[in-house]
Structure 1
Amino acid sequence: MSEASLLKTQVVTLRVPNELKSRLEQQAKSQGVSLNNLANYLLTTQLSQLETLSGIEQRLRGRNLNDLKQKIAFLLNKVPHNPDLPEWDRL
């Protein structure tokens, strides 16, 4: 994607409940950013997560779940045991 195409914007009107708009405005104010910047950030991060999950689901489609579990167990068994890990970091 070219830099010029990244700079182009479009106006989109979204209908959101009043409470959601108030919450967004409060967060934008507390973050020191505009409502527009916060909305763009939140939409971008959520869309990226959805795209990532979709990609993972697509790659896993048709795979055998038991085979995947065995591969994960094999990899986890290669991780050295470290008794000095804090409790919150243990599996």
Structure 2
Amino acid sequence: MITRSATIEEIDELYLRWNDHINASALFRRALREEMEVRGVDPDELRELLERAREQGYTLDEIVKNTNRFDDLQSLVEEQQSQPTTEDATED
């Protein structure tokens, strides 16, 4: 997992310091899930597509470079799946 930094306001920092038991990473992930829901993206489907793309040999950087939304990732995975493998090509 990659750690990213986020800018928070002083009031956020103060509140988190008062309540150091709060997992700020979990709050961030929850907010992202809410954004996904608003945009009609199922996190489980997104996770599955990402895993399939990684299994096909794509790095996260390549996925980011070649896609910018859920439908693009789905197309990328399906395109790669529909291409014949080297073994299939030599059988023809």
The alignment's TM-score, normalised by the length of structure 1, stands at: 0.31
Q: If the length of structure 2 is used for normalisation, what is the TM-score?
A: 0.31
Larger relative contact order (CA 8 Å, sep ≥ 6): 2
